[in-house]
Amino acid sequence: MAMTVVVTETVPDRLRGRLAIWLLQVRAGVYVGDVSKKIREMIWQQCETYCDEGNIVMAWATNTESGFDFQTIGKNRRHPVELDGLRLVSFLPAEDNTDL
Sign of CA dihedral 15, 20, 26, 27: positive
- Residue 11's pLDDT band, with cuts at 50, 70 and 90, is very high
Domain 2-91 adopts which CATH fold?
Alpha-Beta Plaits (3.30.70)
91 versus 40: the higher-pLDDT residue is 40
Asked if residue 16 lies in contact with residue 24, where contact means CB atoms within 8 angstroms, the answer is no
24 versus 92: the higher-pLDDT residue is 24
Residue 6 has pLDDT above 90, yes or no: yes
41-98 per-position pLDDT tens digit: 999 999 999 998 999 999 999 998 889 999 999 887 777 788 887 888 887 777 765 5
Q: What is the pTM of this model?
A: 0.85
